[in-house]
Every structure is written in structure tokens, then in C-alpha cells.
């Protein structure tokens, strides 16, 4: 068991009242597993990632990774944001090297070169993010995260700001990277197709306060045929679990 969320509750105090956001979240994630968290916007998905990442303390309950309780942010688990998460004052190389300052120079350069290749940004090493497209910025952010060799990646709607074609390409890229560099991934999205295309298991959250409503196992091999009957069946069943089946 890689990651365990043990009866996590989280509430925020606002104007003297306590507003519950996470309600008894309980989940076990295996090593190398790809989990998608889906749920209506504002349900507390990002809060859950913040708690898992150690950016926020749960009101009660614990998150453990490899048996160790998460108490704060750590480079062993990196949170990837939407595209504005890259540092605009650093070049592509500078961004990828951001977490590598303690490495000897030769090793750092080798690692940067490796991840530049992995996310296909060759030729843009000296470019600044302002000269990159949205998809390239996201690949850069993934490269910056992978470069520090984390066990767990948290992705918070990483493709949410991209157009739909770029989003499809990015999913394929992420799958390719995940298959070469097996990491445990927790991926927050509100896109049903994204979840069914990427995940081993999809965790369906309710609206606020977020509870785990259901967990759907996607038993399809990669690459997934997105017009196969089984895919469509799983997609419909996910829509159904969210409570939207055939309603649009």
C-alpha cells in the first residue's frame, strides 16, 4: 500500500461558523496506481490534494505514505497546478532544474536534458514560459515535478485550461510518461472522459462536503479505444454514478 487516507475530515472556519469540506475520506492507493478524483466543481477536490500534499492539515484523520504520516510538503510528492504554476522568470531548463540545486552540476545537467527529451521540449531549453503554448507549459511543469524523482504526483486539473485537442494530446503524453516512469498519480479532474481514459480507478466525490460516493475500476488496457463498447459502458456508468446519466 503506497498511500492511505484514513478517515480524513476537514472544515474551514468562516464568520464564526465551521464549514465542512471533506467528510470522512477513506482511501487506499497502491504503488504505481493512477487514480482520478472526479466530482462537481467546488466540492473539495483541491482541498483533498492540499491535505494529501501536506499543504494543509486535516481537521482529523491522517494521510500516510509508505507508512509515514504526512505532516508537510515534501519533494517526494509534487503537486502540479494549472499552467500558471511554472516560474515565468526561469527558462525551460531553469524550471526543470528548480528542485535540483543540491545535485552536482553534471548530474543536474544530465537530468534536465533527460526530462527535456521526455516531455519533448528539445530546442526550447533556453525559452521562457511566455514563449511556450499552454500545452508546452504543462509538459514543462510535469518535467519539473518528475525531475526531483517523486514517488507520488498530485495533478490538480492540469489540463483544465487547455483547448480540447491539446487536452487529448496531453493525456496521451501523460500516459506515455507514466508508462515509462511508473509513479503513483492522483489526478483531479471534472472531465468524465479524461477520468475514464486515464485512470485505473476513478474515485467519485459528492458535492460539498465531499464524501466518496463510489469507486469505479477501469479494467481497460492502455492504449484505450475510446469508441469500444466497454469504454462507453464504463463512461455511462461513471456518468450514472455522478448522477448525470443521459440527462444532457
Partner 1 sequence: MNGRGLTYRRLLIGLRPVAFIGLLLLLWQIAVAQHPGGLLPGPVGVAYGIVDLVRDGLLLKYAVASLFRVTWGFLLAAVIAIPLGLTVGWFRRAELAVNPLVQLFRPISPLAWIPLAILWFGVGDTAAIFLIFVGCFFPLLLTAMSAVHTVPEMYVDVGRNFGLSTREFVYRVLYPAVMPQLLAGARITLGIAWLVVVAAEMISVNSGLGFLIVDARNAGNRYDLVIAGMVLIGLIGLLLDLGMRSLERMKSFQWSESGE
State yes or no: residue 58 binds partner 1 (CB under 8 A). Answer: no
State yes or no: residue 87 binds partner 1 (CB under 8 A). Answer: yes
- Nearest approach, Cβ of residue 89 and partner 1 (Å): 4
State yes or no: residue 140 binds partner 1 (CB under 8 A). Answer: no
Helices (H), the chain: 45-53, 92-96, 105-118, 134-147, 164-180, 192-198, 229-242
**Nearest alpha carbon to residue 146 among 121, 112, 173:** 112
d(CA 234, CA 117): 34
- Nearest approach, Cβ of residue 79 and partner 1 (Å): 6
The nearer residue to partner 1, 55 or 231, going by C-beta atoms, is: 55
Q: Which stretch binds partner 1 (CB under 8 A): 76-84, 157-165, 180-188, 194-202?
A: 76-84
State yes or no: residue 130 binds partner 1 (CB under 8 A). Answer: yes
State yes or no: residue 90 binds partner 1 (CB under 8 A). Answer: yes
Question: Angle at CA 162, nearest 5°, toward 178 and 223?
Answer: 35
- Local structure of 77: helix, strand or coil: strand
Q: Tell me, by CB under 8 A, how many residues bind partner 1.
A: 22
Pattern 147-186, partner 1, x by CB under 8 A: -x--------------------------------------
d(CA 182, CA 174): 11
- Nearest approach, Cβ of residue 87 and partner 1 (Å): 7
- Nearest approach, Cβ of residue 226 and partner 1 (Å): 32
State yes or no: residue 13 binds partner 1 (CB under 8 A). Answer: no
Asked, as a colleague might, if the bond just before 132 is cis with ω within 30 of 0, I would say no
**Nearest alpha carbon to residue 159 among 132, 184, 139, 185:** 139
* Cβ contact 160:84 at 8 Å: no
Q: Which residues contact 44 (CB under 8 A, 6 or more apart)?
A: 10, 21, 22, 205, 208, 209, 210
The nearer residue to partner 1, 130 or 164, going by C-beta atoms, is: 130
Binding site for partner 1 (CB under 8 A): 53, 55, 72-75, 78-79, 81, 84-85, 87-90, 98-99, 101, 128-130, 148
Amino acid at each position: 500500500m503506497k498511500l492511505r487516507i484514513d478517515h480524513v475530515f476537514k472544515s474551514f472556519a468562516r464568520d464564526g461558523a465551521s464549514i465542512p469540506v471533506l467528510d470522512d475520506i477513506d482511501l487506499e492507493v497502491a504503488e504505481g496506481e493512477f487514480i482520478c478524483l472526479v466530482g462537481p466543481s467546488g466540492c473539495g477536490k483541491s482541498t483533498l490534494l492540499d491535505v494529501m500534499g501536506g499543504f494543509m492539515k486535516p481537521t482529523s484523520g491522517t494521510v500516510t505514505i509508505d507508512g509515514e504520516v504526512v505532516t508537510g510538503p515534501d519533494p517526494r510528492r509534487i503537486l502540479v497546478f494549472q499552467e500558471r504554476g511554472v516560474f515565468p522568470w526561469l527558462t525551460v531548463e531553469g524550471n526543470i532544474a528548480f528542485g535540483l540545486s543540491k545535485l552536482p552540476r553534471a548530474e543536474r545537467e544530465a537530468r534536465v536534458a533527460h526530462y527535456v527529451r521526455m516531455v519533448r521540449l528539445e530546442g526550447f531549453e533556453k525559452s521562457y514560459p511566455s514563449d511556450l503554448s499552454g500545452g508546452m507549459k504543462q509538459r514543462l511543469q510535469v518535467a519539473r515535478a518528475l525531475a526531483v524523482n517523486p514517488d507520488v504526483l498530485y495533478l490538480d486539473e492540469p489540463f483544465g485550461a487547455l483547448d480540447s485537442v491539446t487536452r487529448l494530446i496531453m493525456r496521451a503524453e501523460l500516459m506515455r510518461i507514466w508508462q515509462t516512469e511508473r509513479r503513483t498519480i492522483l489526478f483531479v479532474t471534472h472531465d468524465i472522459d479524461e477520468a475514464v481514459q486515464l485512470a485505473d480507478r476513478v474515485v467519485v466525490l459528492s458535492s460539498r462536503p465531499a464524501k466518496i460516493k463510489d469507486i469505479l475500476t477501469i479494467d481497460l488496457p492502455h492504449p484505450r479505444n475510446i469508441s469500444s463498447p466497454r469504454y462507453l459502458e464504463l463512461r455511462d456508468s461513471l456518468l450514472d454514478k455522478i448522477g448525470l446519466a443521459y440527462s444532457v
